[in-house]
Amino acid sequence: QLKDAFGDYYETLVKKMQEATTKHIDETSWRNNGINNWLWIFINKEVALYVIQKQRSSDVPKAVLGNQKDKFITTDRFSAYNKLVEKTGCLQQVCWTHLLRNSKDLAKHYSEAKYIHKRMKFIFRKAKEGEKKEKLLGWIDIISSRKYHGTEVPKFVNSVCIKHRDDLFRFVDNPEVEPTNNLAERGLRHAVVMRKVSGGSRSNKGAATTAKLLSVMQTIKMQEGNIIENMTNLLQKGK
């Protein structure tokens, strides 16, 4: 009943997210009637949009967002987002929190990765301090020009410093783009707590209701003013 009472507000959030020039995307597992599904979040500073689907492929964000040519998405480098770039024309900013986390983990297992992690931390710090993009990319190229042994370290360098070279410093050119995907990760915490308590949804209808109410409530919480008053005003407008 509450979902219906909010009227078309969820569709309004979908439209706002489609039109937004910058957004963050992430996903986490979600059980629906005992079957593994995925809960996706699309979020920026104004709107939080949740979608529960069976797939974890690029088809889900593509269906939600549509054409995104020259709009920015911040992601964690999951392969589906690379496909999304190809399909929708969006520009990707990869999350530096994930990059540094990955390089740190790599350095624990491979001594030559210690150099990479140290340089990545230095480069990110300089990027936040306002260093020019050309110099930042030059430092990245120095990392990729070195020779590494084994498979894991070269694989990381190839992915980050070569394949995602153009996606490292979108935030340097555009102050509206954030260098990390922390906003999306924080937005998923509420759903993770719900999942631990409830175990997920028991039907497609329940999953749809969960996604819509999460979207409405989290968006209202992000707005200025009293949460209860904002919710009441929204319900009154839907009458």
**Is the pTM higher than 0.85?**
yes
The pLDDT-based confidence of 238 (bands split at 50, 70, 90) is low
- Across the chain, mean pLDDT equals 94
**Under a CB-based contact definition with an 8 Å cutoff, are residues 154 and 148 in contact?**
yes
Structure confidence by residue, pLDDT tens digits, 119-142: 999 999 999 999 999 999 999 999
Is 42's pLDDT higher than 80?
Answer: yes
**Under a CB-based contact definition with an 8 Å cutoff, are residues 238 and 5 in contact?**
yes
- Report, as an integer, the average pLDDT of 209-231: 87
The pLDDT-based confidence of 7 (bands split at 50, 70, 90) is low
Is 169's pLDDT higher than 60?
Answer: yes
Is 56's pLDDT higher than 90?
Answer: yes
Task: Write out 202-232 in H/E/C secondary structure.
Answer: CCHHHHHHHHHHHHHHHHHHHCCCCHHHHHH
Q: Tokens standing for 183?
A: 């906003």
Percentage, residues of the chain above pLDDT 70: 98
- Report, as an integer, the average pLDDT of 107-121: 97
- Report, as an integer, the average pLDDT of 141-156: 96
